């Protein structure tokens, strides 16, 4: 709730005493939002906070899709993701996990350098969709909620590999091996 107020106040054009083109309330809201970010962000209680690499590894091995927002503490552009992640966590609460992982401290120290290197994360926020421990899709600096919804819906519609049984029932016949399509010459 506080973060929703901060987001709204950050962009508001309130009447009242103006400070350099901004209202006093807007300036204070901006400072409060920056303080909230440096303290770990504004994500709501529906978003899972991943604190350690072990938390992350356990989360992505879940039996349902996991959408992880990798962010940097104090990153002003990262604050824009909090509202989107909160909405997604609410919409998909019973079907997918929405999580946040602080990958970079305010003073540019990586909290999990192995993860940063493994997933080649250089820009914040970077959001990655995992299913069965594998990366399915990635977005960098994307604040629009629709691509996340589309990817989650597509993954849930076709059935998450993480939720599929490891082996086929004995009553099913073995499938034929996939054949490689004949290569076609490149042309117009």
What ranges do the domains of the chain cover?
Answer: 1-39, 41-159
Cis peptide before 125 (omega within 30 of 0): yes
CA atoms within 13 A on the CB side of 180: 3
Give the DSSP H/E element, type plus range, for residue 72: strand 66-72
Full DSSP string of 97-132: EEEEEEEE-TTS-BS-HHHHHHTT--SSSEEEEEET
Q: For the purposes of burial, counting CB atoms within 10 Å of the CB of 41, is it exposed (0-12), middle (13-18) or buried (19 or more)?
A: buried
For the segment(s) 41-159, the CATH number from 3.40.30.10, 3.30.230.10, 3.30.2350.10, 3.30.70.120 is 3.40.30.10
| pTM of structure | 0.66
Side by side, the strands of the sheet bearing 126-131 are 48-50, 97-104, 66-72, 126-131, 134-140
Residue pLDDT tens, the chain, 188 long: 345 444 443 344 333 444 455 555 555 455 455 445 444 445 557 899 999 999 999 999 999 999 999 999 999 889 989 999 999 999 999 999 999 999 999 888 999 999 999 999 999 999 999 999 999 999 999 999 999 999 999 999 987 655 454 443 444 444 434 443 444 444 44
Q: Would you put residue 90 in left (φ > 0), alpha (ψ -120 to 50) or beta?
A: alpha
């Amino acid at each position: 709730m506080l973060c929703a107020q901060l987001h709204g106040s950050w962009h508001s054009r309130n009447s009242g005493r103006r400070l350099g083109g901004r209202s006093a309330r807007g300036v204070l809201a901006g400072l409060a939002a920056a303080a909230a970010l440096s303290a770990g962000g504004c994500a709501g209680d529906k978003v899972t906070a991943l604190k350690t690499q072990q938390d992350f590894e356990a989360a992505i091995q879940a039996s349902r899709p996991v959408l992880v927002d990798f962010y940097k503490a104090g990153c002003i552009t990262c604050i824009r993701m909090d509202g989107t992640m909160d909405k997604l966590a609410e919409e998909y609460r019973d079907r997918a996990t929405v999580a946040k992982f602080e990958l970079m401290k305010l003073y540019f120290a990586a909290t999990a350098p192995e993860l940063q290197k493994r997933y080649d994360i250089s820009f914040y926020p970077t959001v990655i969709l995992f299913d069965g421990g594998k990366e399915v899709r990635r977005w960098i600096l994307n604040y629009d909620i629709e691509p996340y919804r589309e990817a989650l819906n597509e993954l849930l519609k076709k059935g998450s590999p993480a939720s599929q049984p490891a082996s086929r029932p004995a009553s099913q016949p073995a499938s034929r091996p996939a054949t490689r399509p004949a290569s076609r010459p490149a042309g117009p």
